[in-house]
Amino acid sequence: MKITAIAKSHSDQTQTAFKTEPALTEEVMQCAIENFFGPAYVDHFFVEDGLFIVRRAVIPKDQVTEYERSLTQAENLLQKRKENADQNREGHLKRVSEDTGLPIE
């Protein structure tokens, strides 16, 4: 995930809003908090209108790079979980097909 700009409309003296590519989802944000940022940051980061909101006004450039890395890792983890779920489902259906003698359509 790439942070592409600061969203002026959602930023002020207490928080900074970032546009991301692709737009940030709640699912990716929750995964990032749970697995990469840590639960202590649940009140520091959130999603609003597809924007990544950080409850800080001043953010160093290297921190933005860290945010991108963590959000990308969350995207990758969710994709891997989806792939594993799909593989598990396919394996299960194959076993049921073999057990019942019925084809999968």
**What's the whole-model pTM score?**
0.80
In 3D space, the residue among 104, 31, 42, 101 whose CA is nearest the CA of residue 73 turns out to be 31
In whole angstroms, what is the distance from residue 5 CA to residue 69 CA? 16
SS3 99: helix
User: What integer is the mean pLDDT of 77-99?
Assistant: 86
Q: Which domains does the chain have, with CATH numbers?
A: 2-99 (3.30.1360)
Identify residue 43 by its one-letter amino acid code.
Answer: D
Residue 96 pLDDT exceeds 90: no
